A and B are shown apart, each in its own frame.
Chain A
């Protein structure tokens, strides 16, 4: 087990390094230097060159990469020339808000998808199962922003129940307490996630229902409720562990779009605004962090599955 863990962690670190090289190289190809954006379109070639030399953008990209990596490991993610703040400080201000939005919707989606999937598997092909499957199919095909627009139209503009804009408070505790404005963003992401989670949950519960231990539990006369609660739930939930870990790329993208639609000042909106004014260091830092999160998500999913499922024996 520990041998597997060490090997798995080492591969993950190698993958993260590889990802950072690829991203850095790609960005370097697209934006060799932020000089023109910082100094303005009228800057002379001489002043651009001077700026590049001063900030180290005249070095080969590999050298720049290594120094960036060294700085990043010390917590220095560079400087935002547009917002006149260090990137680390910008992220510090916002990460909690994004984490709340994504985390809350993942937790809610899992809490909804597990019972829904099991219910659908038990009542398979019934009217309610088909209705839920249809809804999941539609939501699964729905662009996040379109769902958000519909929810805004119905619940904010027509019924005036919730606000069409997310909370603008700088304190994350105020944001958490502000149900009026946070419900719609959270519901948007939750519905999108439930659509895919519940489909996996349904098929996983159907597989589990066909197993011999369920037959045995029924044969010994256990009430159906206990068969489901004691024997089915824990086995059927195993794929959810992997699924949540693997859904981080989708969460990051969904987060970006939701924050943009609801004007929620999280990391996704920061990235989006940095696109418009080409805030080089913010873009690269958030892309790198996103990639690292994806790798870590895979790793955690693998490890969690081996912990949760004793049948997985590792050399």
Chain B
């Protein structure tokens, strides 16, 4: 089936699929989207990587107990080997265990921020789109204003005075991630409102809440889910950047960015295990989120779908 790269149209614009699509049993849009998603190899790869990291960060620490609390001068800067699969830091901490804990924090912040953002954003966008008129204009100008604020600067300024915790960082970043979903959901609501099936439902006597619950939300959900995956990726990068600059999550929470910046300081001593595994983790998680997001967008996009 289609992968990300394959276009619907051939080089000369000839459609490869038969006109009107192949004949098949009628299925729900969700099942079609799921089928499309599963048949995309990159999407499956991305999901597998994400699943691996969820296990790695949340379940593996239950079984793997590395030293991450008490400084041990006898085990400082050990290269990867028996007992320490990824070596140890200059404080004698086990790098693998630190990686798990750092990933846990990063994923928690990212999911919290994305969830907070999508809930707030879709409410904001739905209200603006449904009410319309001056309320809509004002609400959308507010979104414009907040979108113009460079988030990294503001988060840094806040982080100087207040210590970052998973909760506070998640809420602050989420306080920025509602803007794009608000725009998306408003756009969806505006187009959906005029679609025939919504008119049909209205003619059939559907109440407003039934319209929202049965027709508007399920149809806007695709856009929202796609946005969440990209926001998770974004948030992980942002948290890492904060940590690298020294304003990330505070002890006892571990932070991938912070680990990287400490590792970078000892790079000239050749302690590669303090730098590359952390960096690879960040890249892999973010890449997996982006792959899943791309694939979801393709599978929800009816126009791209080869029926």
Residues of A within 8 A of B (CB): 11, 14-16, 18-19, 22-23, 26-27, 30-31, 124-125, 129-130, 133, 137-138, 140-146, 149-150, 152-153, 157, 206, 209-212, 215, 218, 249, 252-253, 256-257, 260, 271-272, 275-276, 278, 283, 286-287, 290-291, 294-295, 298
Q: Is the CB of A125 within 8 A of B5?
A: yes
In the complex with contacts A130-B5, A249-B150, A30-B283 CB distance below 8 A: no
Interface residue ranges, B against A (CB under 8 Å): 5-7, 9, 11-13, 141-142, 144-154, 156-158, 160-162, 233, 237, 240-241, 244-245, 247, 257, 260-261, 264, 267-268, 275, 279, 282-284, 286-287, 290-291
| Residues of A contacting B283 in the complex (Cβ-Cβ under 8 angstroms) | 138, 141-143, 146
Complex Cα spacing A125 to B145, Å: 41
Enumerate chain B residues within 8 angstroms of A18, measured Cβ to Cβ. 141-142, 144-145
**Contact: B146 with A153, CB < 8 Å?**
no
| A interface, over-half SS | helix
Not counting A124-B5, A142-B283, A272-B156, a sample of 20 additional A-B residue pairs whose C-beta atoms are within 8 angstroms of each other reads: A14-B141, A15-B144, A18-B144, A22-B145, A22-B146, A23-B154, A26-B154, A137-B291, A142-B282, A143-B244, A145-B261, A145-B264, A149-B260, A157-B268, A252-B150, A253-B150, A256-B153, A290-B153, A291-B150, A294-B149
Q: How far is the CA of A211 from the CA of B151 in the complex (A)?
A: 39
**B267 near A153: Cβ-Cβ < 8 Å:** yes
Q: From A23, which residue of chain B is reached at the shortest CB distance?
A: B149
Identity of the chain A residue whose Cβ is nearest the Cβ of B13 in the assembled complex:
A210
A241 to B129, CA, bound (A): 29
How far is A13 from B291 in the complex, measured between Cα atoms in Å? 38
Question: Contacts of B7 on A, CB cut-off 8 Å?
Answer: 124, 206, 210
The answer to whether A146 and B282 touch (CB under 8 A), given A137-B291, A275-B156, A275-B160, is yes
Contact in complex: B152, A252 (CB < 8 Å): yes
How far apart are the CA atoms of A216 and B7 in the complex, in Å?
20
- Cβ of B241 and Cβ of A257 under 8 Å apart? yes
Rounded to whole angstroms, the CA-CA distance of A11 and B12 in the bound complex is 43
Would you call A253 and B145 a contact (CB within 8 A)? no
Chain B interface main SS type: helix
Q: How far is the CA of A16 from the CA of B261 in the complex (A)?
A: 35
A294 touches B245 (CB 8 A): no
CA distance A152 to B267 in the complex (A): 10
**Contact call B267/A253, Cβ cutoff below 8 A:** no
Q: What chain B residues lie within 8 Å of A26 (beta carbons)?
A: 154, 157
Residue pair B241, A253 in contact (C-beta under 8 Å) = yes
Q: Given A140-B290, A275-B247 in contact, is the A30-B157 Cβ separation under 8 Å? A: yes
Specify which chain A residues have a CB less than 8 angstroms from the CB of B245 in the assembled complex: 257, 260, 272
Q: Which residue of A lies closest to B233 (CB)?
A: A141
Residues of B within 8 A of A15 (CB): 141, 144-145, 148
Inter-chain contacts of B156 with A (CB < 8 A): 271-272, 275
Contact of B282 among A143, A157, A206, A212 (CB under 8 A): A143
Q: Is the CB of B233 within 8 A of A27?
A: no
Closest Cβ–Cβ distance, residue B52 to chain A (whole Å): 16
A156 CB to nearest chain B CB (Å): 10
Known pairs A30-B158, A149-B264, A149-B279; A143 contacts B240 (CB<8 A):
yes
The interface residues of chain B lying within 8 Å CB-to-CB of A210 are 7, 9, 13
Question: What is the CB-to-nearest-CB distance from B233 to chain A, in angstroms, rounded to a whole number?
Answer: 7
- Given the interface pairs A138-B283, A210-B13, the reply to whether A287 lies near B157 with Cβ below 8 Å is yes
Nearest-neighbor residue (CB-CB) of A157 within chain B: B268
**B279: chain A residues within 8 A (beta carbon):** 142-143, 146, 149-150
Which residues does chain B contribute within 8 Å of A290, judged by CB atoms? 150, 153
Bound-state Cα–Cα, A26 to B162, Å: 13
Jot down 27 A-B pairs with beta carbons below 8 A, ordered by A: A11-B141, A14-B141, A15-B144, A18-B142, A22-B145, A23-B154, A30-B162, A137-B287, A138-B287, A140-B287, A141-B237, A143-B237, A143-B241, A145-B244, A149-B275, A152-B267, A157-B267, A206-B7, A210-B9, A211-B13, A212-B13, A249-B150, A272-B156, A278-B160, A283-B153, A287-B153, A287-B157
